[in-house]
Amino acid sequence: MRQGPDLVRSERRWTAAVFREPRLAASNGNFSIGVLPGEGVGPEVIGAALEVLTAAEAGGARFALRTGGPIGRDSEVLSGKALTEEVSGFCDEIFAGGGAILTGPGGSRFVYDLRRRFDLFCKLSPLRPYPALQEAGRLKGSTVDGADILIVRENTGGEYLGEWDEVLDPKRGRLCRHAFHYAEEHVRRLVSVAAELAASRRNRLAVVIKDGGLPTVSALWRDLAREAAEASGVELRVLDIDLCAYLLIQEPLSFDVIAASNLFGDVLADLGAVLLASRGMSFSGNFSEAGAAVYQTNHGSALDLAGRGRANPIGQISTLAMMLRESFGLHREAAWIEEAIAEVLDQGFRTFDLASPGAIVVGTEEMGERIAGRVAKRARRVE
């Protein structure tokens, strides 16, 4: 019986399609991790993830942890900036040592500024539902059973990285303007990564546009997607965003890899969390060609839940597993974490966002402890 989402898979890393420079080995046997706890529920879910990381160390891998400063709205209160030079410098040092960043949620312009600063052009958001949660979500279990989707989002162009201003028009009042563009080089590298990933999976690539609404941008994406699909030998579908959103919920099994612009990819990844039963289950990694990597959940700061112990830490714990596999090649440790999550869910434990009749509802800390305990058991078997 399958216990988790695609737990038996090859040891090929998705980042092999993104990174164009060799990764540095662990320094002195320690893998370097920079931690940004973030705001809202960030410190709570990051704390749960780090407990799981400590449990994984029992298997022999060693990690050198450093903690950076405030980000997002917390940082703005202190400095006026969502991403400070201090935090940017911290990330620089981690990347220079071959490490990766594990971050909690940060609001305002934090993620957009971070992606621009380090050219984190590619965001990968996996959508693999856990079988135990089929009845916890809003969709029928038969609709999501077997879904395995990878959303490949362009991170450094489009609406989120445009230019904007506001002026007062004497006749019409506030006049807000926003301009953005996509360059051929940026679209080409993203769809090339997506096509290569599709070729390593099930050979199906969907590219998302909006033909009538964004004619020139859509034509650019379509043309370059065709070139990339032909070069990689994958089947291509080009879909308008509204149809793609509908099909993602109605026919998720029809998708393999989805490539999308910044805005469209953002919407689809959040919408796709419906397949996972909760946004608290969603996660992602952001990557540059040079090997920089930042791992985050796809949910926000949940300020209303902060300090209440009600946040779901599984998305953040899943970012940890993704980091171990994609940045450090620790496939065994990543599988331990994913298997542990599946086991805890199979035993009926749920956080508040996943509560259903008959479930054993636990808080953030206890969910982290239960997953960590099962990781530790697996790690001790190889001592």
Catalytically annotated residues? 160, 210, 242, 266, 270
Burial code (b: 16+ CB inside 10 Å, e: under 16) for 93-104 equals ebbebbbbbbbb
Q: By the 8 A CB rule, do 294 and 36 touch?
A: no
- The amino acid occupying position 288 is S
Give the Cα separation of 61 and 59 in Å (integer). 6
Give the Cα separation of 267 and 79 in Å (integer). 30
Cβ atoms within 10 Å of 291's Cβ, excluding its own: 18
3-state secondary structure 74-101: HHHHHHCCCCCHHHHHHHHHHHHCCCEE
Give the Cα separation of 366 and 104 in Å (integer). 19
Longest dimension (CA), the chain: 75
- 350 pairs with which residues across the strands? 361
Give the Cα separation of 280 and 58 in Å (integer). 27
Burial of 290 (0-12, 13-18, 19+ CB in 10 A): middle
**Residue 48: how many CA atoms within 13 Å on its side-chain side?**
28
Q: By the 8 A CB rule, do 207 and 221 touch?
A: yes
Q: Which long-range contacts (CB under 8 A, 24 or more apart) does 224-227 make?
A: 224/184, 224/187, 224/188, 224/191, 225/191, 225/195, 225/259, 227/188, 227/191
250: its two tokens: 């109605």
Cβ atoms within 10 Å of 376's Cβ, excluding its own: 20
- The amino acid occupying position 274 is V
- Between the alpha carbon of residue 137 and those of residues 130, 228, 278, 283, the distances in Å are 11, 35, 7, 17
